[in-house]
A and B are shown apart, each in its own frame.
Chain A
Amino acid sequence: MSIFKKLFTAVRGAATEAGEAVVDSQALRIMDQEIRDAENELKKSKEGLTTVMAQKMATERQVKEKHKSIEEHEGYAVQALDKGDEGLAIQISEKIAELTNEVTPLEALLTGQASSVNQLKQTIKQTEKRLQATKREVALIKSTASVQKAQDAIAATHSGSTSAMSSAMGSMQRIKARQQEKTDKMNAALALETEGGDGDLKAKMAAAGITDSGSNGNSILEKLKAKRGGGASA
């Protein structure tokens, strides 16, 4: 199975009672191994590329040397002809022919090696791109798996709590009732304060059992009420 197909099967959308997607840790382990294998292959390809490139350079050098030698001998041949030494000129020409016969296959080899280098470079580039994409996918799946576990832990913790038993609206009503109680107490304290004249309001609030967080709750409730009064959005 291709590594990409495995990616999809690793996150099976099978909905359980709690609607969790199951991440197949076995499949993840296999994919991790495949990524490691692919990286090894890539490494070998790169080493192979280095080797072929070195060979190509060697061939280039040889071809260059041969051509240089041919040029030199052509020079010698002309010199020989100038001196009128045809015999020598012919010998030199034979040498040139020899050199030419040697360089031709080398040039063919060079062309082949240049082509190999280009192909290898392209393949390596493509493989690297795909490997990066695969690694990103796997990282995403792993973090999904870890979030999944976190959700499970949270669900387990929550189900043991009392808040799990009540409805959302019921809870809201209880909160509002408590806020109302605090507001009433604060109003009572304020009334006392006005009545009694001076006196530390804070002390009175404390005596009435009102803590600082009560004022916060009240102001939030007022804010919420104001928002509700502004018209509910669909």
Chain B
Amino acid sequence: MSKMKITLPDLASALNALDTEGELSFQAEVIEGEVPTLQVTVSDREEFPIYITIDDSQILAVSYLWKESEIKSGAREALLEALLTLNIPMPLSAFSKLGNQYVIFGALSSQSELNDAIHEVEILSDNTLEALESVSEFLQ
């Protein structure tokens, strides 16, 4: 397993520095711990922060979607069908589930460049909203 190329502080600085017209802007903060996590708040979408971790094998960016309890009764199967169908057309991001929590995530090789990671985060944020719009009929 090779050493990681970019670090969370690198990514945090890069995201914080982004200030392009018409593009998303971010507020990134490193949360220390056994596994340091980068918490990224996206302007105008503060309800859907992105959490990023980096280890030897991958850069993982996760956004929380909904819980099982938020799914309309009887709609679960149709929802899962929709998510599976959406996985490929939706660029870079994919759906997953952690216990009762549905998430959307993007994973990159730890050898990726900073720009790739930033791009992944931007797309993840857009995809989060797009996904929610797409399956809103199944959620309460």
- List the interface of chain A (C-beta within 8 A of B): 15-20, 139, 143, 146-147, 149-158, 161, 163-164, 166-169, 171-172, 174-175, 178-179, 212-217, 220, 224, 227-228, 232-234
**A149 and B130 in contact, given A19-B97, A179-B44 (Cβ under 8 angstroms):** no
Asked if B49 and A161 sit within 8 Å, CB to CB, the answer is yes
Let me know if B139 and A154 touch, CB within 8 A: no
Q: Are A154 and B66 in contact (CB under 8 A)?
A: no
21 A-B contact pairs sorted by A residue (CB < 8 Å): A16-B99, A18-B100, A18-B101, A147-B57, A150-B55, A153-B31, A153-B33, A153-B36, A157-B31, A163-B46, A163-B47, A163-B48, A164-B64, A167-B140, A168-B132, A172-B129, A175-B45, A175-B47, A179-B44, A216-B24, A234-B85
What separation, in Å, do the CA atoms of A220 and B132 have in the docked complex? 13
Please report the C-alpha to C-alpha distance between residue A179 and residue B46 in the assembled complex, in whole angstroms. 13
> Is the C-beta of B124 less than 8 angstroms from some C-beta in chain A?
no
The reply to whether B35 and A150 contact each other, CB–CB distance below 8 Å, is: yes
How would you classify the secondary structure of chain A's contact residues: helix, strand, loop or mixed? helix
Residues of A with C-beta under 8 A to B10: none
Where chain B touches its partner, the secondary structure class is mixed
A215 touches B58 (CB 8 A): no
Q: Find out whether the CB atom of B44 lies under 8 angstroms from the CB atom of A178.
A: yes
